[in-house]
């Protein structure tokens, strides 16, 4: 068995407390069709410490949950590869969402659906609107127009903290760990519906101590999973950029989400940790969560995603499985347009083509890391084809 209990090597007493935590979710449901993230906040007598949604995924991968994830992905085999195509079992449905900043249209998405229980990569060149789109879906920004829903529940104008309680959480491209709190305190902030947060209740530890203990146990397990447990008492400000990314991801899991949105989760993470982080992302899906992630590294996209949605200039320009998307001419042009123009220019008196290309790539690598990493992957694919 993989997942928290399988990989974390956590202390027995923590496992015991996590067993207690894991009593409330319906192990068969795993956020599958029919659950309603919006309507089922657990009552005060629930044994769950982070009361969010019914039918939420457990923190372990089981044969059953893995099979369910495979079935969700298999449904995509019959889906046409074109932008805005409906999905057989969508968890998020977006219509006519537009956001402009002055004269610049950052996001203009006519229609897109995200399949439940699979990993979808959101890719596109720098400035395509991916982060803005995430901000809109999660309530961190307001669109000019448009509607979207989570499990059929309309989310427009729902504030970010409520979106998280409804089971949709996100991490940030630029991390937002609170540096003057410890790593453990950052984790505990991630828990929803904390009884001790109310002024009067805070004076009566009997009301919240058990819940807080359970939350600490969950935080401990998650920190072990992301190899941050030794840092629990340290200030988050002392973590490296990559460790902050890990902390954000761990913290997002404190609310037992059904949808996890990760904005460039691998960026800045130590290469030694990247592989295990990819494994954790796959585990999220295999535990029953829907994962939506932004990534520029096409090897990562090809490795872990079941479906890819491509943005350029605010709109969705392509959708499909990774192998198909990486050979899509429109996608290659969107990522590499400026680069191709540079390379196609007459070389009179200039350096030989190979040198021009690598010099241009080196310059562009600083300016447009996403485009260059994507270009390398596309070249590989074309050579292999
Ligand atoms: N708050 C803002 N004010 C003005 N312009 C903004 C703001 N936020 C984003 N933009 C602009 O909107 C466009 C989309 O930006 P966004 O950050 O969403 O792109 P992205 O696809 O995430 O890019 P990257 O891959 O570089 O992270 C860019 O042109 C950006 O400059
Ligand atoms: Mg971005």
Segment holding 37, helix H or strand E: none
- Report how far apart, in Å, the C-alpha atoms of 5 and of each of 232, 311, 344, 350, 353 are: 19, 37, 54, 59, 54
Tell me, in angstroms, the distance from the centre of ligand 1 to residue 368's CA. 13
Tell me, in angstroms, the distance from the centre of ligand 2 to residue 266's CA. 13
Last residue of a domain, one of 272, 295, 320: 320
Tell me, in angstroms, the distance from the centre of ligand 2 to residue 199's CA. 38
Q: Does residue 132's CB lie within 6 angstroms of at least one atom of ligand 1?
A: yes
CB atoms within 10 A of CB 136: 25
Separation between Cα atoms, residue 223 and residue 110, nearest integer Å = 39
Q: Tens digit of pLDDT for each residue in 304-326? A: 999 999 999 999 999 999 999 99
CB atoms within 10 A of CB 226: 22
* Co-location of 100 and 191 in the same domain: yes
Separation between Cα atoms, residue 160 and residue 149, nearest integer Å = 14
Q: Tens digit of pLDDT for each residue in 236-271? A: 999 988 888 889 889 988 888 999 999 999 888 888
Q: Does residue 101's CB lie within 6 angstroms of at least one atom of ligand 1?
A: yes
Segment holding 99, helix H or strand E: strand 90-101
Of residues 349 and 195, more confidently modeled = 195
Mean pLDDT of the chain: 75
From its phi and psi, is residue 318 left (phi > 0), alpha (psi between -120 and 50) or beta?
A: beta
Classify residue 77: in a domain, yes or no: yes
Nearest CA to ligand 1 atom 29: 127
Question: Closest ligand to 137 CA?
Answer: 1
Which atom of ligand 1 has the smallest separation from the CA of 311? 21
Question: Closest ligand to 133 CA?
Answer: 1
Classify residue 26: in a domain, yes or no: no
Tell me, in angstroms, the distance from the centre of ligand 1 to residue 247's CA. 24
Q: Does residue 126's CB lie within 6 angstroms of at least one atom of ligand 1?
A: yes
* Co-location of 313 and 330 in the same domain: no
**Averaged over 183-195, what is the pLDDT?**
76
Last residue of a domain, one of 276, 296, 320: 320
Q: Tens digit of pLDDT for each residue in 60-106? A: 889 999 999 999 999 999 999 999 999 999 999 999 999 999 999 99
CB atoms within 10 A of CB 366: 8
pLDDT at residue 273, as a whole number: 79
Nearest Cα neighbor of 256 from 44, 5, 21 is 21
* Co-location of 164 and 98 in the same domain: yes
Which of 131, 140, 374 most suits a substitution to test ligand 1, by most atoms within 8 Å of the C-beta? Answer: 131
Domain with 231, as residue range(s), is 67-320
Domain count, the chain: 2
Query: What pTM was computed for the model?
Result: 0.74
Which of 130, 316, 370 most suits a substitution to test ligand 1, by most atoms within 8 Å of the C-beta? Answer: 130
- pLDDT bin (cut points 50, 70, 90) of residue 199 is low
Last residue of a domain, one of 294, 320, 346: 320
């Amino acid at each position: 068995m993989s997942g928290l209990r399988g990989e974390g090597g956590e202390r027995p007493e923590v496992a015991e407390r996590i067993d207690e935590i894991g009593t409330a979710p319906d192990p068969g449901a795993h956020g599958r069709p029919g659950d309603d993230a919006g309507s089922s906040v657990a009552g005060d007598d629930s044994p769950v410490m982070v009361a969010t949604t019914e039918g939420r995924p457990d923190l372990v991968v089981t044969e059953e949950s893995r099979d369910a994830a495979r079935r969700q992905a298999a449904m995509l085999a019959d889906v046409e590869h074109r932008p805005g195509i409906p999905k057989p079992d969508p968890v998020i449905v977006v219509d006519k969402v537009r956001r402009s900043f002055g004269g610049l249209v950052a996001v203009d998405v006519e229609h897109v659906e995200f399949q439940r229980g699979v990993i979808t990569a959101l890719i596109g060149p720098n400035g395509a609107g991916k982060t803005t789109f995430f901000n809109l879906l999660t309530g961190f920004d307001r669109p000019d127009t448009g509607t979207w829903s989570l499990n059929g529940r309309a989310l427009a104008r729902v504030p970010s903290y409520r979106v998280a309680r409804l089971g949709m959480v996100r991490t940030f491209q630029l991390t937002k760990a609170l540096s003057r709190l410890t790593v453990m305190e950052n984790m505990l902030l991630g828990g929803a519906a904390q009884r001790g947060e109310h002024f009067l209740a805070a004076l009566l530890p009997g009301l919240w101590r058990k819940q807080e203990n359970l939350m600490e146990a969950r935080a401990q397990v998650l920190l072990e999973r992301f190899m941050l447990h030794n840092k629990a008492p340290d200030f988050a400000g002392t973590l490296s950029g990559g460790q902050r990314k890990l902390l954000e991801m761990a913290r997002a899991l404190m609310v037992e989400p059904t949808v996890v949105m990760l904005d460039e989760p691998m960026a800045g993470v130590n290469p030694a940790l990247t592989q295990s982080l990819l494994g954790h992302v796959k585990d999220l899906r295999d535990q029953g969560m829907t994962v939506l992630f932004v990534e520029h590294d096409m090897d990562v996209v090809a490795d872990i995603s079941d479906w890819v949605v491509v943005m350029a200039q605010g709109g969705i320009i392509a959708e499909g499985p990774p192998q198909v998307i990486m050979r899509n001419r429109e996608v290659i042009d969107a990522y590499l347009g400026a680069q191709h123009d540079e390379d196609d220019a007459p070389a009179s008196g200039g350096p030989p083509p190979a040198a021009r290309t690598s010099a241009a790539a080196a310059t562009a690598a600083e300016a447009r890391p996403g485009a260059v990493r994507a270009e390398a992957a596309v070249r590989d694919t074309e050579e292999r084809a």
